[in-house]
Amino acid sequence: MDTMEPEPDLELQVAVAKVSKYAVSESGDTVEVIERPHGGLSLVMVDGQRSGKSAKTISNIVTRKAVSLLADGVRDGAAARAAHDYLRTMRGGQVSATLNIVSVDLVTRTMVISRNSHCPAIIVRGLENEPQILDEPSEAIGIQPRTRPVISELAIRADLHVIVFTDGLLSAGERYGQRLDVPSFVRDLCHRCPKEACARFLADSLLARAVELEHSRPGDDVTVVVVSVTGRQQPDDVRRMSVRFPI
C-alpha cells in the first residue's frame, strides 16, 4: 500500500471555527478530529437538539460513539448508522442531533462526506467552477427508525474545498431580515484566500459574517468546518495541529 503512494505534492488543511449562542457558556455543537487507522483523518461534527448543557451532553455522546467506531476502522456510513441507533436507543427516540462526518481517506485518495442534517455541504472543485451544493434531503439522527446518512465521495485533487456547518449559520441574520447566501459568499472568498491558510480564512470569514448578521449576539450555536486540499505550500513534512480559544 505504502509503495504505491504517490510523492506528496498536495497539502491538507482543516479549519474549525465555533461560537456558542450568546450568553450561553456551553455550545451544543461538538467537533472532533481523529486520525484514521489506515491513514488520513476523520472529522465529526454534531449539533445536539436545543442549546446549553442538555444539548452538549447529547452532542458529546453522539460524537464519542462515532469517533470510537471510526478509530476502530469502521466505515463512515456504518459509524453514522450506529451513532443513530445508539442515540435512539439511549433516548427512546425523543432527542435528535445532526451529524456530519468528513473523512480524508488516503487509501482510496477520496474525501467522503456523510450528512445527517438538513444543512447542505458546499463543495468547491477548482476555482474556475461554481460552488456545488450537496443538499439531497437528509434527516437528523435519533428519532426515526433506520435513519441513514447521505454520502458523497470526491477524488482528492488540488483546490478542493468542502464546507459543512451547523444550522446556526443558515439562520444567522434571519430575525433581522437578512440571510447569509453561503455558496455565493464562498465563491467570492475562494478567489481571495491565501493558499497557505485557505481553510482557516474560509472558516473564519464565514463565522465572522454570521456573527455580524446576528449583531454580535448569536441566537444559536454556530460551527463552520472547512476541509481544503491545496497544492503543497509548506516546505517540510511536519504534521501540525493548533487549538485556540479564550478561557
Number of residues that bind its own copies (CB under 8 A): 56
Stretch that binds its own copies, among 21-29, 86-94, 117-125, 161-169 (CB under 8 A): 21-29
Cβ atoms of 210 and 29 within 8 Å: the answer is no
Q: Is 54 in the site for its own copies (CB under 8 A)?
A: no
Our CA angle for 136, 142, 143, nearest 5°, is 85
Segment near its own copies (CB under 8 A), from 118-126, 130-138, 159-167, 237-245?
Answer: 237-245
Residue ranges in 153-182 that form contacts with its own copies under rule CB under 8 A: 156
Q: Which stretch binds its own copies (CB under 8 A): 26-34, 87-95, 123-131, 172-180?
A: 26-34
Q: Does 35 bind its own copies (CB under 8 A)?
A: yes
DSSP 9-27: -EEEEEEEEEEPPTT-SS-
From the CB of residue 126, how many other CB atoms can be counted at a distance below 10 Å? 11
By CB under 8 A, tell whether 33 contacts its own copies.
yes
Backbone angles phi, psi at 155, to 5 degrees: -65, 140
Find the shortest distance in angstroms from Cβ 124 to its own copies. Answer: 18
Residue 146 Ramachandran class (φ > 0 left, ψ -120 to 50 alpha, else beta)? left
Per rule CB under 8 A, is residue 13 in the interface with its own copies?
yes
Closest to its own copies by CB, 17 or 164: 17
What SS3 class is residue 102?
Answer: strand
Q: Is the dihedral of CA 97, 18, 151, 184 positive or negative?
A: positive
The distance of closest approach from Cβ of residue 8 to its own copies in the complex, given in angstroms and rounded to an integer, is 4
Binding to its own copies (CB under 8 A) within 137-156 occurs at 156
Query: Residues near 90 by Cβ (< 8 Å), separated by ≥ 6?
Result: 61
Nearer to its own copies, 187 or 195 (CB): 195
Spatial contact of 229 and 12, defined as CB atoms under 8 Å apart: yes
Nearest by Cα to 199 from 209, 189, 212, 213:
189
Of 56-115, binders to its own copies (CB under 8 A) are 60, 64, 68, 71, 104, 106
Residues contributing to the site for its own copies (CB under 8 A)? 2, 5, 8, 10-20, 25-27, 30-35, 37, 39-41, 60, 64, 68, 71, 104, 106, 156, 199-200, 203-204, 207-208, 211, 229, 232, 234, 236-247
